[in-house]
Structure 1
Amino acid sequence: MPTTKMVFHGSDIEKICEVYHLNQKDIVKFGANVNPLGLSENVKKQLASHLDILSSYPDRDYTTLRNTISEYCNVPAEFILPGNGSSELIALLIQERNPKHTLILGPTYSEYSRELSFSGSTQEYYHL
């Protein structure tokens, strides 16, 4: 008999609280790499002093970033693939590999299943 399983992104605190009748104040959020203390005053000052960079479009090939990481890690720059967060990198990997059948070990990041559904891959879920 099929069962309906609620799928949440780890940062969907409002939805999780509604479904499970929880109080948001009682939850410690680990669903995203966000500092619960907020930005430090030093980071705020640094950002404020560099706002002019917002008026220029960044290098789409991340050339300077890739070269800097390459030097620091002693890895060829062509082996480095920066991305706009893990979701973009997961999507690129799935597009590149184009798996026909996948096994998802969970609970895990919902983006795996979401991106695999776009590729037409059949999915098996194994709850650990």
Structure 2
Amino acid sequence: MSKNIPASIGGGQDRHVVQMIANASLDVIEDTVRSNPAMYLRAVDKFNEWTVSAFVTPGNMKFVLLHDAKGDDGVKGFFTELWELYIKTLMNPFHTAHTAIRSPVFDAKVRAVAKKHL
């Protein structure tokens, strides 16, 4: 887990709340994309103490991050490196397009990038 998410979030009911917040922000992200051509959309939504930031790739893949509101440069760096990892995974001939990425290596790399930037 990212150090920005409290220890109570990691399983159980709290994880569902985080997923609900991220899912609810998709409508806001869609509205923001219509008026902002940038890939990194910064903070698009807020829920209690959490800020929702988003990154939209040219292929319209949306990366959503729930975090506390510190370090905009760190969040942008995280999204940029995450996009690079995502592209490398898509270019892998053994990965089937339009399927979930279920790779422990990918997961470990994403966690390392989160630790580095967040």
TM over 0.5, yes or no? no
Q: Which is higher, the Rg of structure 1 or of structure 2?
A: 1
Q: Give the TM-score normalised by structure 2.
A: 0.24
Higher strand share: 2
TM-score by length of 1: 0.23
